[in-house]
Amino acid sequence: MKTQENKSKVYQLMPVLFAFFVMGFVDVVGISTSYVKNDFTLSDTLANLLPMMVFLWFAVCSLPTGLLMGRIGRKKTVLLSSLVTCVAMLIPLIYYSFPTVLLAFALLGIGNTILQVSLNPLLLDVVSKEKVTSMLTLGQFIKAISSTLGPVIAGVAAGVWGNWHLIFPIYAFITLLSWLWLVFTPIREVEGEVTKQKGRDVLALFKNSRLMIAFSVILLIVGFEISLMTAVPKYFLERCELPIEQGGLGCSLYFSARTLGTFLGAIILARYSSRRFLIGNMVAAVLVFLLFMATTSMTVLLVALFLIGLFCANVFPIIFSSAIQSDPSKANEISALMIMGVAGGAILPMVMGILADATNQWTSLFVPLLALIYIMLVSVKMKY
């Protein structure tokens, strides 16, 4: 009987974990910014509207999605996100221009917001409480695989097929598969308080200092990652005269390190304190980032970029897990608040773009550096 129940749980878990792969599509905005800048001859400030159009919606839509999830359920909310993502992926194929690309990435941001708010709580319905942290880390591992493949697929589409935005029909097809798999998977959602939540219940979380610190870390780690990924191809071009197509592979290197980091994190966090693990990683990340800014050697740059991805891989799952487990009865509301912090991906790249236009790409790297230093300081003082 118990074996049959375990098989049922695995059957329910698989499509939920696969949805984390779809979640990773949003990270293609990093390399896309460089391609779009070249296609339409844009300034850095204007090109960085692209990540802003994606991540702005995390600030706008996260809390409403939390309320919607309380009304229609977690699974239906995840399914809705897949439909929005599919529409977003089809727009550049119908007509490719800067305004339509902005519209497509805006819809991608809305779809990804809905997905991130609803998918993490849905995971609570298919795994036991003691496995939540490891499963969230596994989900981030799968998302990292998707993020790693994005620049590679875009590079192949540009180099082999002669059209980088042919990546979009591939993403649309995978999203449709995810939608179909989840539609035909029965999942019994937890009933209770989550169905009665109101806007004031979500807003009340802003008074919780512990959650607000976690929110600030989510805001900055996502902003750090997106701003770095938008800068890497252009920085390699400025620093080492590496073409955008090859420089874009640096993004894949970073995400491959993140993939390895989340995999190792799932193992290490099962045995050691998440606090000590996070502090060690953040100290190392700051030191390596300083090396990344100091060197002009292409080899050292690539090694440093890989190590940065490795050390920063587990910040999001550790902080998110800590926040959501602080009060499981408010999982929907806390998830909405934490995902709202993903809007950092809209803020930091815009600041970097303005700095890069005023000075150069190297100077703009002080923005993600300061974000890392803040997270390192918070990791020392924060309660887990």
Per-residue pLDDT, 191: 53
What global pTM score does this model have? Answer: 0.75
Q: 176: domain CATH number? A: 1.20.1250.20
Per-residue pLDDT, 245: 65
Radius of gyration of the chain (CA): 20
Series of mean pLDDT values for 10-residue runs along the chain (384 residues): 58 89 85 82 80 83 84 91 94 89 91 89 77 75 84 80 84 94 84 50 76 92 88 83 72 86 81 84 96 91 94 89 78 80 83 85 92 93 68
Instruction: Give the range of the structural domain holding residue 38, as residue numbers without chain letter.
Output: 2-381
Per-residue pLDDT, 316: 87
Tally of domains within the chain = 1
Per-residue pLDDT, 195: 46
Per-residue pLDDT, 187: 82
Per-residue pLDDT, 1: 46
Per-residue pLDDT, 22: 93
Per-residue pLDDT, 39: 83
Per-residue pLDDT, 179: 95
Per-residue pLDDT, 103: 92
Per-residue pLDDT, 198: 53
